[in-house]
Homo-oligomer: A and B are copies of this chain.
Amino acid sequence: MGNLANSIEDYLKRLLTLSGAGYIDIKRKELSNKFSCVPSQVNYVLETRFTLEKGYLVESKRGGRGYVRIKKLKLSPRSSLIHFLRELEGGLPGEEHAKGFLYRLYEDRFLSLRELRLMEAVLEGLDTLEENPLKNKIRRDLLRQMLVVLLKFDY
A residues near B, CB below 8 A? Answer: 2-4, 63-65, 112-115, 117-119, 121-122, 124-126, 128-129, 132, 134, 138, 141-142, 145-146, 148-150, 152-153, 155
Contact = CB atoms under 8 A, between A and B. Distances in A.
A114 B3 contact: no
A65 B3 contact: yes
Given A65-B2, A125-B141, A134-B132, A152 B117 contact: yes
Contact of A149 (B118, B128, B132, B155): B118
B134 A122 contact: no
Per DSSP, chain A at the interface is: helix
Contacts of A115: 114-115, 118
A100 to B, nearest CB: 18
Contacts of A65: 2-3
Contact of A146 (B63, B113, B122): B122
A106 to B, nearest CB: 12
A145 B132 contact: no
A134 B132 CA distance: 10
Contact of A134 (B63, B117, B129, B153): B129
